[in-house]
Amino acid sequence: MFDIQRFNGVIYGADYNPEQWPREIWAEDARLMQEAGVNLVSLGIFSWALLERTEGNFDFGWLDEIMDLLHAHGVDVNLATATASPPPWFSLQYPDSRPVTADGVRLEVGGRQLYCPSHPALRDGAARLTRALATRYAQHPALKLWHINNEYGCHIDQCYCEHCARRFRAWLERRYGSIDALNGAWGTAFWSQHYITWAEIQPPRRAPTYANPTQQLDWRRFSSDNILELHTMERAILAEITPDVPATTNFLGFLPGLDYFRWAQEEDVVSLDAYPDPGSDLAHLDAGMAFDLTRSLGGGARWILMEQATSAVNWRLRNAPKPPGQMRLLNHLALARGASGIMFFQWRASRAGAEKFHSGLVQHVGQQRSRVWREVTAFGAELRRLTPLLAAGVPARVALMFDWHSWWALNIDSKPAALPLLPLVARWYAALKALGQNVDFVPPHGDLGGYDVVVLPNLYLMADETASALRAFVERGGHLVSGYFTGIVDAQEHIHLGGYGAPISDVLGLWVEEWDVLLPGQTNTVAWAGRDPVTVTDWCDVIHLQGAQAQATFTDRFYAGQPAMTRHTFGQGQAWYVGTELPPSALQGLLGEVLQGAGVPLTVLPAHVDLTVSALPEGAQVLHLLNAHATDPVSLRIPDGGVLFPGGEAAGTTLTLPPYGVTLVQYPQAVTVADVQVL
Ligand code: GLA
Ligand code: ZN
């Protein structure tokens, strides 16, 4: 279990890589950490090569020294198991531990994360190092948290080598039991793919044309599970030696390779690395969506922002800095959405290596000359006053359903159209945020009971159990909104026959006969009673009603006059269907109607205003009001009776947020977002 009381208030800190710096700097670092209000650092993430210089020979001298120094300065340690990157000697001693791409290329020494997750020596080596570190530092007073590995799957989420092929076969045998069952699931009657023995089965390596889709999907599932085994192996060693020290590994939000809803079950606390593009007007929406996902992965529990940049990163083609104020704004966004800790990569910007142009708390110019330093120390001081937020929850009445398996299946080639899922989800998310909603993400197997509205931006793969859960949700009075190309295949990636959307056809009150994929530049028009006609793009379903009512109809092309959007009363609830790609304003309009129908209060906010409502114990609530605009202020009307948080002065009923401005207002009771208005 994770108890935030282990830490000294809200966690504030960074990855700390003292091994990149001479010893003279270390004492200065510890002193500057105190000055900045840093209370936790992640140590040793890329230290394997310095900790184990030949197999089994450890040198912990420097780490002992730095652990003691940090402790003496009141800085706690989030100690890495240091397994993120094996040393060159390891990769050369075990050449087949280097991962292999789908094209059969074995990768070379010189970058990082150079390992095959299946290789026995890698597994042994990671276990050996984890055990040695846990044993050495079990009693060290600075040790407060374990940081297992680092960003699993960030570079290598699939390895196509023979070790992995063997484990893939074993995984498939466990899943299917017999080769006949596998042949059935993979549909191998197609293209002469029938397998006689398990030994014939390969990873979906580069093939002459499309690899078998179910093979590709199972490969994704296997790869996520296989890397997770590495993680739980280290986790078990730590739990054995230091049962009282919580453990985490840093997630990457919407990372394609790992099913984080499954992974999160193995974490004591979920943590996130978030690098929205500071140059984008949507940085706060990108970040906010990842923050909401992260809280949802932990079932609503508070979480740790483990890494972010103080200013620019170095890995985009153009790396915009965070202008003054933006870092603070994004940190407040994380706190509003449930973070218990605000950390950065990295403490001191590197002098050498591939990340030397990545910002740090201590920049190349030195702290005295740096506006970034002024901002991080000011924020460190501000954080000390925000401790009561550690007890806040983020109650949501609306959930977006998200599923890694469906995402994997949708991403497989040979579809009616390539549909990138994240931009699609982001459009629904942005529309809900613009209506002032707190939003959770929920997996298909998640509990829908607490929500009034569940949105399926796209759930291409829908298992029968998911359809049953959605049916029960609507029957009991829930409001469901489904986007197009949903409920198309089952868990084996076989089409649900009898009309697309078949598994929830009764709930939606319709069936889809076919779709019209629009080419770039092509549009259709939707006539929507009481509103202006809407121009739509990308995709139009040919819908047949079976109980639902058309809310809007297409006006062009061969299905002119047929429904584009529908609504169906089912049991005590309502099911809406959107059979096309709506522009943002229309999507927002539609969701507004859905929320109203569901009795969920809403307001209308411009995209640069971010609103979260958090709930303190004993019924108090806090409005977190953020202006993400870089140059323009925004004025708001807020409910009466609030006090500024922290501070306690009366908040009045209007306030102006400067560019990148943040205001928190606390109320003794629940507030309704309908009472927040932009002036
Ligand atoms: C990731 C890694 C860090 C660093 C940063 C750079 O988050 O975990 O080691 O490479 O990216 O943005
Ligand atoms: Zn491998």
- Whether the Cβ atoms of residue 401 and residue 444 lie closer than 8 Å to each other: yes
Q: Which ligand is nearest to the CA of 274?
A: 1
State the ligand closest to the CA atom of 350.
1
Rounded-to-integer distance, Cα 161 and Cα 461, Å: 28
Look at ligand 1, atom 12, and give the residue with the nearest C-alpha: 313
Helix and strand numbers (H, E) in the chain are 17, 29
Residue 291, pLDDT score: 99
What's the whole-number mean pLDDT along residues 28-46?
A: 98
Instruction: Check whether 176 has a pLDDT greater than 90.
Output: yes
**Residue 29 in contact with residue 366, Cβ under 8 Å?**
no
DSSP-derived letter for residue 673 is G
The residue whose CA has the least distance to atom 9 of ligand 1 is 345
Q: Compute the distance between CA of residue 514 and CA of residue 511 in angstroms, rounded to an integer.
A: 9
**In the 8-state DSSP scheme, what is residue 388?**
G
Q: What is the mean pLDDT of residues 14-21?
A: 98
Q: Whose Cα sits closest to atom 5 in ligand 1?
A: 345
- How far apart CA 342 and CA 326 sit, in angstroms, is 14
- Mutate which of 252, 273, 348 for ligand 1 pocket (most atoms within 8 A of beta carbon): 273
Q: Which residues line ligand 1 (CB under 6 A)?
A: 150-151, 273, 275, 307, 313, 345, 355, 358
In this prediction, residue 526 carries a pLDDT of 98
Distance between Cα 207 and ligand 2 center (Å): 18
Q: Is the dihedral of CA 665, 670, 673, 679 positive or negative?
A: negative
Structure-token pair, residue 22: 């001479």
Q: How many residues does the chain have?
A: 679
Residue 88: is the preceding peptide bond cis (ω within 30°)?
no
- Residue to substitute in 152, 310, 343, 345 for testing ligand 1 pocket (most ligand atoms within 8 angstroms of CB): 345
Quick one: 532 exposed, middle or buried, by C-beta within 10 A (0-12, 13-18, 19+)? Answer: exposed
Distance CA 292, CA 271 (A): 12
Determine the atom of ligand 1 nearest the C-alpha atom of 313. 12
In this structure, which residue's CA is closest to atom 2 in ligand 1?
A: 151
CA atoms of 213 and 234, how far apart (whole Å):
33
Instruction: Please give the structure tokens belonging to residue 135.
Output: 């044993």
Contact 294, 272 (CB under 8 A): yes
CA of 199 to the centre of ligand 2 (A): 17
Residues 650-674: pLDDT tens digits?
Answer: 999 999 999 999 999 999 999 999 9
Express each pLDDT in 86-99 by its tens digit: 999 999 999 999 99
List pLDDT tens digits, range 105-116. 999 999 999 999
Compute the average pLDDT of residues 380-396: 98
Ligand 1: which of 47, 307, 343 to mutate, most ligand atoms within 8 Å of CB?
Answer: 307
80, 307 in Cβ contact below 8 A? no
Q: Which CATH class is domain 398-597?
A: alpha beta
Distance from the CA of 116 to the center of ligand 2, in angstroms? 4
What does residue 347 show for φ and ψ, rounded to 5 degrees?
A: -55, -60
Rounded distance between C-alpha atoms, residue 405 and residue 437, angstroms: 27
Q: Taking Cα atoms as reference points, which of 3, 559, 629 lies closest to residue 283? A: 629
Q: Write out the catalytic residue numbers.
A: 151, 307
What integer pLDDT is reported at residue 590 of this predicted model? 98
Q: Report d(CA 650, CA 671) in Å as an integer.
A: 16
Contact (CB, 8 A) for 467 and 633: no
CA of 161 to the centre of ligand 2 (A): 4
- Taking the centre of ligand 2 as the mean of its atom positions, its distance from the CA of residue 158, in whole angstroms, is 8
Taking the CA of 163 as reference, the closest ligand is 2
Query: How is residue 428 written in tokens?
Result: 């629904």
DSSP assignment letter at 635: E
Closest to 276 measured CA to CA, from 286, 261, 263 = 286
What dotted CATH number matches 4-159+245-387?
3.20.20.80
The residue nearest atom 3 of ligand 1, judged by CA position, is 345
Q: Give distance in angstroms: CA of 345 to centre of ligand 1.
A: 6
Atom of ligand 1 nearest to the CA of 309: 12
Ligand 1 atom closest to the Cα of residue 250 is 8
How does pLDDT run across 329-353, given as a tens digit for each residue? 999 999 999 999 999 999 999 999 9
CB 653 within 8 A of CB 604: no
Mean pLDDT value across the chain: 98
Rounded to 5 degrees, what angle do the CA atoms 286, 291, 293 make? Answer: 100
Instruction: Kindly give, in sequence order, each residue whose CB lies less than 8 Å from that of residue 25, ignoring residues fewer than 6 positions away.
Output: 18, 348
Q: How does pLDDT run across 401-449, given as a tens digit for each residue?
A: 999 999 999 999 999 999 999 999 999 999 999 999 999 999 999 999 9
Asked if 651 and 672 count as a contact pair (C-beta separation under 8 A), the reply is: no
Q: How many whole angstroms separate alpha carbon 161 and alpha carbon 205?
A: 9
- The CATH class for the domain spanning 609-678 reads mainly beta
252 Cα nearest atom in ligand 1: 7
| d(CA 410, ligand 1 centre) in Å | 28
Write the pLDDT tens digit of every residue in 496-509.
999 999 999 999 99
Q: Note the Cα 136 to chain centre separation in Å.
A: 33
Q: Among residues 360, 320, 386, 336, which one has the least CA distance to residue 630?
A: 320
Give Cα 450 distance to the centre of its chain. Answer: 21
Q: What is the distance in A from the centroid of ligand 1 to the CA of 274?
A: 9
Calpha distance 417→410 (Å, rounded): 10
Q: For residue 117, which ligand has an atom nearest its CA? A: 2
CA 155/CA 175 separation, integer angstroms: 27
Instruction: Match 């010189």 to its residue by tokens.
Output: 110
Cα distances (angstroms) measured from residue 558 to each of 118, 424, 544:
53, 26, 14
How many beta carbons lie within 10 A of that of residue 534, not counting itself? 23
Give the residue extent of every domain in the chain. Answer: 4-159+245-387, 398-597, 609-678
| pLDDT-above-90 percentage for the chain | 100
- Ligand 1 atom nearest to CA at 45: 9
| The three-state (H, E, C) secondary structure of 155-200, written as one string | CCCCCCCHHHHHHHHHHHHHHHCCHHHHHHHHCCCHHHCCCCCHHH
Measured from the Cα of 46, ligand 1's closest atom is 9
Closest ligand to C-alpha of residue 80 is 1
Whole-number pLDDT of residue 1: 75
